[in-house]
């Protein structure tokens, strides 16, 4: 086999592989963005209800599974331990798709530049998103 022919075939195979990888990445990114619609309004509603003292409303934004493992008092203690009242700014990270759930890292920032990173796991219940898990992460 001629070296030039082998090089041409190799180049074409490499380009085809790169094109397939790019197509897969684009498909995955679009699928994630489309499936994550509705999470930001839910997150805003969650923090608005907590800030206004409507803890029961925020608790009801969680799944039945979450509520079966975390009772109302535990939820209130968890939120109190976070000291959310000292944070003023919320920044969402990139959503990650994992086993039909969407995980979103949210960073709360205070005026003193303190950061509180939280991982929210969301699942779709019927046609709406619900909070399946909230986990406090170590500050970066």
Is residue 72 a contact partner of residue 56, using CB atoms and an 8 Å limit?
yes
Of 31, 62, 54, 30, which is closest to residue 128 (Cα–Cα)? 62
Give the model's pLDDT for residue 112: 86
Q: pLDDT at residue 135 above 70?
A: yes
Give the residue among 122, 117, 52 at the shortest CA–CA distance from 91.
117
pLDDT at 127 over 90: no
pTM: 0.72
Q: Is beta strand 128-136 parallel, antiparallel or unpaired with respect to 96-98?
A: unpaired
Place of tokens 């029961």: 56
Tens-digit pLDDT profile for residues 4-46: 767 777 787 777 777 777 776 666 656 655 555 778 889 999 9
Residue 130's pLDDT is: 95
| Confidence band of 68 (pLDDT split at 50, 70, 90) | very high
CA 10 to chain CA mean position, Å: 40
Residue 52 DSSP SS3: coil
Q: Which two tokens stand for residue 89?
A: 């700014």
């Amino acid at each position: 086999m001629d070296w030039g022919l082998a090089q041409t075939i190799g180049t074409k195979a490499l380009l085809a592989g790169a094109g397939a990888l790019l197509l897969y990445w684009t498909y995955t990114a679009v699928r994630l963005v489309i499936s994550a619609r509705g999470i930001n309004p839910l997150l805003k509603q969650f923090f608005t209800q907590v800030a206004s003292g409507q803890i029961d409303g925020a608790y009801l934004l969680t799944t039945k599974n979450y509520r079966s493992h975390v009772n109302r008092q535990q939820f209130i203690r968890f939120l109190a331990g976070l000291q959310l009242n000292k944070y003023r700014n919320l920044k969402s990270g990139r959503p990650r798709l994992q086993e039909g759930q969407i995980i979103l890292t949210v960073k709360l920032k205070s005026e003193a530049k303190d950061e509180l990173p939280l991982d929210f796991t969301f699942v779709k219940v019927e046609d709406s998103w619900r909070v399946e898990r909230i986990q406090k992460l170590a500050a970066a």
